[in-house]
Amino acid sequence: MRRAVFPGSFDPITLGHFDIIKRSLQLFDEIIIAIGINADKKNMFSLEQRKSFIENAFKDEKKIKVVTYEGLTIELCKKLNATFILRGLRNPADFEFEKAIAHTNRKLSKIETVFLLTASSTSFISSSIVRDVIRNHGDYTVLVPDSVRFL
């Protein structure tokens, strides 16, 4: 079975994340969306809200599971018998950052990282931009799946 973990904070999930996940369904038998818990990070949305946003966005997709985790992503992959880590790339800076992590993960394990380029229509979207739009009372609904439209 080709099982991939797609890790992130998803604070909140964006249309960019959504696009990467939908497009990766043809590549993997199962995709585990893994919400990382980082006590040092101040999130806008609670862990429960973020998990709910994702579960509702993919409620009809049987190949997708949502979990939360702490620690190294490769340890979660080992625990879940996942042999791939899925990551999206928006720009060259993302590539350089993700490449270093992928090399480290491969050095520490046999887990491969698969990169998908974001669609041009969503490449400008990041969770931090969405949070800024929300904080400033802008129309964030054009940047996120319907499941995040809470206001």
* Angstrom distance (rounded) from CA 56 to CA 53: 5
Average pLDDT, the chain: 95
pLDDT at 151: 52
**Among residues 17, 50, 51, 87, which one is catalytic?**
17
Please report, as a single letter, which amino acid is at residue 14: T
**Among residues 41, 42, 62, 107, which one is catalytic?**
41
- The H or E element that residue 73 is part of is helix 73-80
For domain 3-148, give the CATH superfamily.
HUPs (3.40.50.620)
Assess contact for 24 and 137: CB atoms under 8 A.
Answer: no
**Among residues 23, 90, 99, 131, which one is catalytic?**
90
**Among residues 24, 51, 87, 127, which one is catalytic?**
127
Residues of the chain below pLDDT 50: none
Active site residue 99: no
DSSP string, 13-55: --HHHHHHHHHHTTT-SEEEEEEE--TTS--SS-HHHHHHHHH
Instruction: Give the tens place of pLDDT for each residue, 68-83.
Output: 999 999 999 999 999 9
Active site residue 123: no
pLDDT at 124: 94
pLDDT at 89: 95
Active site residue 127: yes
